[in-house]
Every structure is written in C-alpha cells, then in structure tokens.
C-alpha cells in the first residue's frame, strides 16, 4: 500500500516534491495544500490528490501518513509542530527557521518528538556525494584532512527573495554547512569572509553574494566553502575530500556527453546540469525513499531536526565571524 502524503506548500520546491511523490510507487500525493488556490490546484491536477487552501485538511486527515513541508520558511515551525503532534512523519525543507531561538523553542515544545523530523538537505542523497561520503567513512582515503566545497548558483534569486532569505549563509551556504558536517562530523570553529561582487543591489539589501568560509572539524580537518550567487557557466557543485592516503571528488555533471572540436578549441563539453531540479533530481527521489524506509522500519531519519539546527548554528557563527573579523568557536 502506498503511503498517503500531504504536501504543505506548492511553490517551486513543493512541485519538486510533488513530482517525486507521484513517481514513487510507494507513495501517493493525497492532498496538495497551498494558500494560493491556483497553485494547489495545479499541483493536484498534475500529480494527483485533492487541492486544499487550508492546512488542516492535511493535518486532520488520519489517512495521511506523512507530510512534506515546502512552504515559506517562517511557516515551517508551526506546521512542523502541528504535524508531529498529529502523529505524522515529517520531511521539512531547510532551513527549519531563520531564528535559532525559535528552533530551540520548537524543540522544547516537542520534548524530543522533533527527533523524528527529517530535514531536506538534498545533497546527502545525491548518488555521487553519498558514494564519496560512504567511501570516506569506510576509511578509503585514510584520514580526511581537507574538504573543499565549491558551490555556486547559476544566477541570484530575485531581490525580494534575498531580502527575506536570512542572508547568504542561512539561505544558500546552509546546504554546504550541512555537507561539511556530513563529512566532518561536528564543526568546532568557523572563519568567514564575504563580499558583494555580483550585484550591488544585494549589498544594498544588506547581504553578501560571494563568500569563502573555513571550518575546522572536531577531528582537526579543515573545510573550505566557496560560494557565489552567480556562475555564468551553470550550477557549480563540487566536493573534494582530500585524505592522508587518497582523494575522492565529485565533479560537475552534464545532461549529454557531447564533445566538440574545431580549429580554435578542443573537446568542448556540454553545459552543466543547470540548477538543482536537474542536478539533484535523483537526490530528491532518494530523499523521499529514505523517509519511506524510516516510516517502514521506525528508525530515526537522517538528516534530522538536530542536523537542521546544527547547520543554522554554523550559519549564525559565520555571520558573527563576518561581522567581527574573528574566528568564532562553535558552541557545543
């Protein structure tokens, strides 16, 4: 029997989840909720289930086994809390919230029940990244000494989004903070530098668009994260795990394997997969499978609520480092 899933939020990322649910034989879309009727209706029409403009249609329906929270960040905590109380499995998009105090209050209120909430750090489910992490964890490269993450978006989001985003670190780098933790375990120190180079309007909105953040893991490894809000050549998603014995990398991916050569250039490759919908399509599917597996076996999902919180702590530490020009110790 397919698990009945309620989707909370039918924007861009909500549609990704709707498609994953529809394509997974173990799941079916029961309700597509969005305050905008058109959005909810469109998703239901395309991927199944009924449309709703009231989240209670999902939360109050006992036949719904799980919810995917893909609504705007400020609504996450409220929906997550209610869904946990309603006894549903939860997959919540990152970040849990922009305010650490609110995250902690949520955990206090749920009194441990939040441990079962899965956070949508999709990169952990990318087949290439996951394979590298598993091989590193298995000791294949010896001791992990340096982790180099390069993560650049093809183009900046709209300014209206930037203003509500919580800033580069909480919005974009948070994926890389989680990725660093995926490889390093806990991070003890954050040193951040940033700049406004891509678009002056982003600076005027009080944010940066370019950054290099250095992390120190508890075992001593150094990780660097290089971010930009814009890469003309496409979505740039690279990871290199440098070890005492060997090195494993994930390089960029392309939709075709066509090469071109002429009198001026050789072996010109196709453009990269352009953005997360394409680059992480398999990851979104695997992420949902993980949720379904955990619902089946009752074990705790990973990444979990605590991972969502930890990434936010690193984002806050990076912001503090950026403001003060100092390396910041991460509270245990």
- Interacting residue ranges for a copy of itself, rule: CB under 8 A: 23, 127-128, 131-132, 143, 145-146, 148, 150, 152, 189, 191, 193-195, 197-198, 210-212, 214, 216, 220-222, 224, 226, 228, 230-234, 242, 244-272, 325-327
Shortest distance, position 26 Cβ to a copy of itself, whole Å: 13
Distance CA 129, CA 286 (A): 12
Shortest distance, position 85 Cβ to a copy of itself, whole Å: 36
Shortest distance, position 142 Cβ to a copy of itself, whole Å: 8
Specify the residue, 201 or 269, whose C-beta has the smaller distance to a copy of itself.
269
Specify the residue, 12 or 254, whose C-beta has the smaller distance to a copy of itself.
254
In 43-113, beta strands by DSSP E = 50-52, 66-69, 89-92
Alpha carbon 284 to its chain centroid, in Å, reads 10
Specify the residue, 201 or 251, whose C-beta has the smaller distance to a copy of itself.
251
Question: Which two structure tokens, joined as six digits, stand for 54?
Answer: 């009231």
Shortest distance, position 108 Cβ to a copy of itself, whole Å: 33
Shortest distance, position 254 Cβ to a copy of itself, whole Å: 7
Distance CA 244, CA 226 (A): 23
Query: Cβ–Cβ contacts within 10 Å for residue 161, how many?
Result: 10
Q: Angle 176-179-182 (CA atoms, 0-180°, nearest 5)?
A: 155
Specify the residue, 174 or 198, whose C-beta has the smaller distance to a copy of itself.
198
Continuous segment of H or E residues that includes residue 145: strand 144-152
Shortest distance, position 267 Cβ to a copy of itself, whole Å: 5
Specify the residue, 58 or 211, whose C-beta has the smaller distance to a copy of itself.
211
Contact 152, 129 (CB under 8 A): no
In 45-112, beta strands by DSSP E = 50-52, 66-69, 89-92
Specify the residue, 108 or 195, whose C-beta has the smaller distance to a copy of itself.
195
């Amino acid at each position: 029997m397919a698990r009945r899933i309620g989707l909370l939020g039918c924007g861009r990322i909500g549609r990704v989840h709707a498609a994953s649910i529809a394509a997974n034989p173990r799941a079916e879309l029961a309700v597509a909720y969005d305050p905008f009727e058109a959005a909810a209706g469109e998703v239901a029409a395309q991927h199944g289930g009924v449309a709703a403009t009231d989240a209670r249609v999902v939360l109050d329906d006992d036949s719904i086994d799980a919810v995917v929270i893909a609504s705007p960040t400020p609504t996450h905590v409220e929906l997550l809390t209610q869904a946990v109380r309603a006894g549903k499995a939860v997959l919540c998009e990152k970040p849990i919230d922009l305010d650490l105090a609110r995250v902690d209050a949520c955990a206090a209120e749920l009194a441990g029940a939040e441990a079962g909430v899965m956070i949508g750090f999709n990169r952990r489910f990318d087949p290439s990244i996951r394979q590298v992490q598993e091989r590193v964890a298995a000791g294949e490269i010896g001791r992990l000494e340096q982790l180099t993450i390069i993560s650049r978006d093809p183009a900046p989001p709209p300014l209206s989004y930037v203003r509500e985003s919580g800033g580069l670190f909480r919005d974009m780098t948070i994926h890389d903070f989680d990725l660093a933790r995926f490889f390093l375990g806990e991070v003890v120190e954050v040193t951040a530098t940033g700049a406004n180079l891509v678009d002056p309007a982003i600076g005027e909105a009080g944010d940066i668009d370019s950054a290099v953040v250095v992390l120190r893991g508890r075992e001593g490894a150094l990780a660097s994260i290089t971010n930009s809000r814009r890469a003309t050549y496409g979505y740039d998603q690279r990871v290199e795990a440098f070890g005492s014995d060997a090195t494993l990398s994930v390089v960029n991916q392309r939709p075709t394997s066509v090469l071109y050569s002429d009198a001026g250039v050789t072996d010109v490759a196709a453009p990269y997969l352009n953005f997360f919908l394409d680059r992480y399509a398999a990851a979104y599917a695997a992420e949902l499978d993980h949720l379904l597996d955990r619902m089946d076996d009752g074990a705790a999902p990973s990444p979990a609520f605590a991972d969502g919180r930890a990434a936010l702590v690193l984002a806050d530490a990076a912001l503090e480092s950026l403001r003060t020009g100092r390396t910041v110790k991460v509270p245990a």
